[in-house]
C-alpha cells in the first residue's frame, strides 16, 4: 500500500465519523456499521465497497450543516452523505441565497439539500424511482420548500415535474 492510499482511507474515515445518528438507535447502528467496515477492511485488505453495505437497517443521520438524511441499509446512500463522494464538486460548490441550482442525477440529495439550506432555489432531477423516493423523503425531512423535484414517468423518458413531495414514504 502506498502513502496516498493510506491517507485517503484515513480521510474517508474522518468524513464518516463526522456523521451522527438522529437518535440513539441510529447512532448505535451507525457505529456498529463502522466497526464492521473496519474489521472487514483489516481482514480483507480493503475488500469492501462502502460502509453503507454494513448498515443493518435504514436510519436517519445528521450530515454536514445539520442536514438530515434518510439512508437505506446495504446501499451507498451513506457515502453520498459523507463528504467522501465527489470531492472535486465539493471544492467549488458554494451555493448562496438567490442562486438557482439544477441538480441532475440528484441521488438522495447531497448537493440539492446543501443548496436548499443555503437559500438557493433548487430543481432536483432523479430518474431512479427508488432513489427519488429517498430524495423526496430527505427534502420533506428537512422541511425545505425551495426544492422542486423531478423524476421520469415509469417506462418513459418524459420527466414529471412535481412541486409536492409524494406521500407514503
Asked if pLDDT for residue 8 goes beyond 90, the answer is no
Q: What is the pLDDT of residues 113-150, one digit of tens each?
A: 999 999 999 999 999 999 999 999 999 999 999 999 99
SS (H, E, C) the chain: CCHHHHHHHHHHHHHHHCCEECCHHHHHHHHHHHHHHHHHHHHHCCCCCCHHHHCCCCEEEECHHHCEEEECCCCCHHHHHCCCCCHHHHHHCCCCCCCEEEEECCCCCHHHHHHHHCCCEEEEECCCHHHHHHHHHHHHHHCCCCEEEEEECCCCCCEEEECCCCCCC
Q: What is the pTM of this model?
A: 0.83
Q: Which domains does the chain possess?
A: 1-85 (no CATH), 89-169 (3.40.50.150)
Asked if pLDDT for residue 109 goes beyond 60, the answer is yes
Q: What is the pLDDT of residues 54-69, one digit of tens each?
A: 999 999 999 989 999 9
Amino acid at each position: 500500500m502506498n502513502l496516498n492510499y493510506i491517507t485517503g482511507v484515513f480521510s474517508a474515515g474522518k468524513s464518516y465519523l463526522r456523521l451522527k445518528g438522529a437518535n440513539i438507535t441510529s447512532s448505535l447502528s451507525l457505529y456498529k456499521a463502522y466497526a464492521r467496515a473496519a474489521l472487514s477492511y483489516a481482514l480483507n485488505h480493503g475488500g469492501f465497497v462502502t460502509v453503507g453495505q454494513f448498515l443493518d437497517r435504514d436510519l436517519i443521520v445528521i450530515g454536514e450543516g445539520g442536514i438530515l438524511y434518510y439512508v437505506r441499509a446495504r446501499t451507498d446512500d451513506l457515502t453520498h452523505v459523507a463528504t467522501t463522494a465527489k470531492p472535486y464538486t465539493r471544492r467549488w460548490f458554494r451555493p448562496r441565497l438567490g442562486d438557482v441550482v439544477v441538480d441532475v442525477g440528484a441521488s438522495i440529495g447531497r448537493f440539492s439539500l446543501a443548496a436548499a439550506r443555503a437559500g438557493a432555489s433548487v430543481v432536483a432531477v432523479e430518474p431512479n424511482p427508488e432513489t427519488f423516493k429517498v430524495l423526496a423523503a430527505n427534502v420533506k425531512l428537512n422541511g425545505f420548500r425551495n426544492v422542486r423535484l423531478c423524476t421520469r414517468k415509469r417506462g418513459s423518458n418524459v420527466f414529471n415535474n412535481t412541486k409536492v413531495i409524494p406521500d407514503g414514504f
